[in-house]
Amino acid sequence: MSPHRLLRRVAVAATFATVLLIAVGALVRATGSGEGCPGWPRCFGRWVPPFTYHPGVSRTNALIEYSHRFTASLVFILVAGLAVVAWWRYRRVRRVMVPATAALAVWLFQAVLGGLVVKFGLTPALVTAHLAVANVLLALLAYASVAAFSAGVVPAGGFDATTRWAWAGAGAVLGLIVVGALVRGEGAGLAFPDWPLMGGRVLPHLEGLRPALMFTHRVLAVAVAAVVAIVAVRAWLVRRTRRPAATLALCAAGLFGAQVLIGAANVWSRLAVAPVVAHVAVSSLILACLVACAAASRACWTVHERAPVRTDRRETSSLQPPVADHEGAVRR
């Protein structure tokens, strides 16, 4: 039995629960259920809302919004549990402790931000910030999950090129997610009723904010696709020593290909609920894969590829993985 089994299970559970939370949040937005619970943090003045009567709000919208809050509570329990395990057993393992602690702080900030969204209405800026922070939380948990599976590795030195490209891809995807959130917040999802052309043109007339936002989103998607492809190729070339990173990079590339078709389905279906929710959820999965790819790439590079140094006439590795005892404490 692995001494890190508890850490790994909690980290992975928190990561997938956060993906679910983002998907439910997209469902809230797609169904217009953002004001399904008019109060915060309670819903209709109760921690568990009434299931028979919702004054001024349809029961469906109320239940969808409440499911979002319930999922957020589940994520809090898991993230808090991850932080407790990190501080209890891994206080000296920075690559575990730091993201676990930061994730808890980000969740608390996200909860306050969610309250502001309810209080001040579904303004584009607040809705965009809410989704952006949710994806930052997911990125931290994805990193913590990889760290949980490589807790005995202590990376040192700078990033190699493959790892830098993976981080660049993650940053580019996060930027694309933010622009996409602005598109939804400003109601620009159908600024151009066709795809892949825009108003029947490759370079459309940009009259107004909504067409400009959608044009920016599509151009950025092309640029990000190129970056993700580079990450996948570079990771594939080093697959013999970085198989986890290569697998994650190929997953990100495959998901991005699917995401393009889902984006087209958003236009063709006139923003039907299913493709809208899928578009948000898959974008977050791509981000998580790339962050995990970057973390795994550096860990694998540390163990298998870091240049050896000569010590006492013997060629030894400049960085030997430390051994973790049954309590998770790292010793050299």
Residue 323 is predicted with a pLDDT of 43
> Please, what are the averages of pLDDT over each run of 10 residues along the chain (332 residues)?
85 97 93 76 71 71 86 95 94 92 95 82 84 96 94 77 95 96 90 91 87 94 97 94 95 97 95 96 97 92 60 35 43 40
Residue in the block written with tokens 């997953």: 251
Distance CA 101, CA 196 (A): 42
As to burial, measured by CB atoms within 10 angstroms (0-12 exposed, 13-18 middle, 19+ buried), residue 311 is exposed
Residue 47 is predicted with a pLDDT of 73
Cis, bond preceding 244 (omega within 30 deg of 0): no
φ, ψ for residue 136 (rounded to 5)? -65, -40
Query: Do 203 and 282 fall within a single domain?
Result: yes
**DSSP string of 216-247, one letter each residue:** HHHHHHHHHHHHHHHHHHHHHHTTTT-HHHHH
Query: Do 113 and 192 fall within a single domain?
Result: no
The answer to whether residue 326 sits within a structural domain is no
The answer to whether residue 325 sits within a structural domain is no
The answer to whether residue 314 sits within a structural domain is no
Query: Do 67 and 145 fall within a single domain?
Result: yes
As to burial, measured by CB atoms within 10 angstroms (0-12 exposed, 13-18 middle, 19+ buried), residue 45 is exposed
Query: Do 110 and 163 fall within a single domain?
Result: no
Query: Do 65 and 210 fall within a single domain?
Result: no
CA atoms within 13 A on the CB side of 286: 33
Structure tokens at 175: 């930027």
Structure tokens at 115: 């309250």
Residue 150 is predicted with a pLDDT of 87
Query: Do 221 and 255 fall within a single domain?
Result: yes
Distance CA 165, CA 235 (A): 9
Which residues neighbour 253 within 8 Å (Cβ) at sequence distance 6 or greater?
A: 228, 229, 231, 232
Query: Do 140 and 158 fall within a single domain?
Result: no
The answer to whether residue 246 sits within a structural domain is yes
Rg (CA), the chain: 22
- Give this prediction's pTM: 0.87
Closest CA to 121 of 34, 33, 246, 12: 34
The answer to whether residue 332 sits within a structural domain is no
Distance CA 116, CA 136 (A): 18
Boundaries of domain holding 222: 154-309
Query: Do 6 and 24 fall within a single domain?
Result: yes
Beta bridge partners of residue 330, listed in sequence order:
324
Count: domains in the chain: 2
As to burial, measured by CB atoms within 10 angstroms (0-12 exposed, 13-18 middle, 19+ buried), residue 225 is middle
Structure tokens at 256: 């991005």
Query: Do 261 and 176 fall within a single domain?
Result: yes
